């Protein structure tokens, strides 16, 4: 919570008799520090008060009763009232809070609220490629941040372990299984079968029909099809876990589509009984034209098998009953925007509580592409995440060896830097944008990158190590931190909790990556312009304490993104 903004809103509310919460929503943070720390625009009041905004601003400012201990000064500029926070009070409040709080920026905002996050969800029997890295990184960051803000976050790895593709894979294995060594190199071998059967399906409609029949048999419990499916799933999860171990990813549930699929028939029955379903060419659909969606939602195929939509609707009902969620986030690519629009609209007809329908949210993200174009599992144009991470670690180690050849634990350090570089690169881009994956950009150790943030953290630890102590808060003279560079760092530290809240409001981890870069840059300026360890003990104590606070926030922020901080680089 921003205490300064709240106090300003309280004072203004008393003057103009507008609810404090409404006033608080109007208050802005100017981009230029010369215009104050907070600004209240009076333009919205012009029509109601029938006065010009500059006159309104002047009249309000004259009536405000602000303590100088909190607000240093007020300026009226045009239709704005600009507030300048007392620099000593700012330093005192931030660092005193920092010393008293176990995990800086954490809160109980989400107490008793359940947030279900469906992310990662790789497909069984297919390589875990960099297209899956984005959902895994975004979902993992949101999971961590929601938990940090006091929510009961539940991470679901809703495995793609069902669907027509398994009918294809079963058909391919029937035909050529003896040609491939599934046990020795499972994912690569299964992918080869998948690519080969897809090619054949394009050439022969009868083969495609046989694949569809296999999937129907799988749904109906055919022993042979189930045996193959279970084998594919077992070897796939074993390979996926290698990637999750590298990324540090954890999930509360691994139940995939196969767990939910049997419940889909209950969904079809509910929708039939309430008259939502209509038939079209043997299939069962829900017409959504009245909802502004021209494409109908297919609930059951003409051969009687379920669809992604019916299974996702069954999952919504299952999650509502199991987790009583306030929010249910689906972290998938924007290619599924229409699918989730359809599913969320149809969910209104399931008879579940309205709060569950309102809580459904699709966190869509852009595709990860190669410089040569979009990836395709069917055509074999992919980069596997495991290969990507290993390459990143190797490159990081080579760079570290050049810069600091005598550094101990170089391999462990390279792992933190290499993996951190990839995660930061993936999360630094706004979720709605596509990413063209480029090795040089992902592994650049200069500029706006993960390694730069890590290096800044290492610098804070180096300062603390050189000082040899961390002073008590009682020893800090806050008036020693009123210079431009100290204030720049302090104001960013003050915003940390607000930044985390913004991430959850917009479901956008790039807000946090941007913040960490800004904090790292601000500390670099502070470090370059101020002598931290010097002759004046009061200044030294204050700057050491600010350094410690900066390091902690950088470390916490990086951890929430899924990135570990090295102690040396």
Helix residue spans in 177-204 (DSSP H):
186-203
Say if CB 157 and CB 253 are below 8 A apart: yes
Rounded to 5 degrees, φ, ψ at 396 are -65, -40
DSSP three-state, residue 74: strand
Q: Report in angstroms the alpha-carbon separations of 232 from 24, 184, 227, 241, 378.
A: 55, 13, 9, 15, 17
The pairing of strands 114-118 and 152-156 is: parallel
Residue among 299, 369, 297, 359 nearest 334 (CA): 369
Active site (annotated) includes residue 129: yes
Q: Give bridge partners of residue 153 from the DSSP assignment.
A: 115
Rounded to 5 degrees, φ, ψ at 333 are -70, 160
Q: Which residues contact 1 (CB under 8 A, 6 or more apart)?
A: 107, 497
DSSP three-state, residue 195: helix
**List 132, 168, 415, 555, catalytic entry:** 132
**List 11, 87, 129, 555, catalytic entry:** 129
* Residue bearing tokens 């600091």: 404
**List 11, 126, 327, 480, catalytic entry:** 126
DSSP secondary structure of 215-262: HHHHHTT-HHHHHHHHHHHHHHHHHHHHHHHHHT---SB---HHHHGG
Active site (annotated) includes residue 362: no
Active site (annotated) includes residue 126: yes
Q: Give bridge partners of residue 374 from the DSSP assignment.
A: 369
Q: Which residues are catalytic?
A: 126, 129, 132
């Amino acid at each position: 919570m921003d205490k300064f903004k709240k106090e300003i809103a309280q004072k203004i509310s008393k003057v103009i008799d507008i609810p404090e919460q409404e006033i608080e929503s109007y208050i802005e943070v100017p981009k230029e520090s010369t215009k104050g720390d907070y600004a209240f625009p009076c333009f919205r009041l012009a029509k109601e008060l029938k006065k010009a905004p500059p006159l309104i601003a002047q009249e309000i400012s004259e009536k405000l009763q602000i303590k100088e201990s909190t607000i240093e000064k007020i300026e009226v500029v045009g239709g704005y009232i600009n507030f300048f926070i007392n620099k000593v009070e700012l330093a005192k409040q931030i660092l005193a809070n920092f010393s008293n709080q176990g995990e800086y920026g954490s809160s109980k905002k989400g107490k008793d609220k359940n947030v279900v996050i469906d992310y990662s969800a790789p497909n069984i029997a297919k390589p875990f490629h960099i297209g899956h890295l984005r959902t895994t990184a975004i979902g993992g960051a949101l999971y961590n941040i929601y938990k940090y803000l006091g929510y009961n976050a539940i991470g679901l790895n809703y495995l793609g372990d069902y669907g027509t593709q398994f009918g294809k894979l079963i058909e391919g294995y029937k035909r050529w299984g003896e040609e491939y060594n599934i046990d020795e190199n499972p994912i690569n071998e299964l992918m080869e079968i998948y690519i080969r059967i897809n090619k054949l399906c394009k050439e022969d409609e009868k083969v495609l029909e046989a694949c569809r029949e296999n999937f129907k048999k799988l749904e109906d419990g055919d022993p042979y099809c189930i045996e193959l499916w279970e084998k594919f799933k077992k070897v796939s999860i074993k390979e996926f876990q290698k990637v999750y171990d590298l990324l540090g990813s954890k999930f509360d549930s691994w139940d995939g589509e196969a767990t939910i699929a049997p419940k889909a028939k209950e969904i079809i029955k509910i929708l039939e009984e309430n008259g939502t379903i209509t038939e079209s060419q043997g299939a069962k659909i829900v017409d959504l034209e009245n909802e502004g969606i021209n494409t109908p939602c297919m609930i059951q195929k003409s051969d009687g098998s379920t669809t992604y939509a019916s299974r996702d609707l069954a999952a919504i009902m299952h999650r509502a009953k199991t987790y009583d969620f306030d929010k249910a986030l689906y972290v998938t690519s924007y290619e599924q925007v229409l699918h989730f629009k359809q599913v969320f609209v149809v969910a209104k007809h399931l008879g579940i509580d309205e709060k569950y329908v309102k809580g459904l949210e699709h966190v869509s993200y852009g595709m990860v592409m190669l410089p040569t174009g979009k990836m395709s599992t069917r055509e074999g144009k992919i980069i596997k995440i495991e290969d990507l991470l290993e390459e990143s670690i190797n490159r990081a180690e080579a760079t570290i060896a050049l810069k600091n050849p005598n550094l101990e634990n170089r391999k462990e350090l390279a792992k933190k830097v290499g993996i951190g570089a990839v995660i930061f690169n993936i999360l630094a881009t706004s979720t709605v944008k596509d990413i063209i994956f480029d090795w040089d950009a992902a592994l650049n150790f200069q500029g706006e990158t993960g390694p730069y943030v890590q290096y800044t953290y290492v610098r804070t630890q180096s300062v603390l190590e050189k000082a040899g102590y961390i002073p008590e808060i009682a020893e800090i003279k806050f008036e020693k931190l009123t210079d431009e560079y100290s204030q720049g760092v302090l104001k960013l530290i003050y915003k940390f909790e607000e930044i985390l809240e913004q991430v959850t409001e917009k479901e956008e981890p790039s807000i946090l990556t941007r913040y960490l870069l800004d904090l790292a840059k601000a500390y670099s300026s502070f470090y370059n312009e101020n002598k931290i360890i010097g002759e004046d003990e009061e200044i030294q104590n204050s700057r050491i304490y600010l350094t410690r606070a900066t390091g902690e926030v950088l470390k916490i922020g990086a951890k929430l993104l899924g990135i570990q901080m090295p102690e040396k680089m």
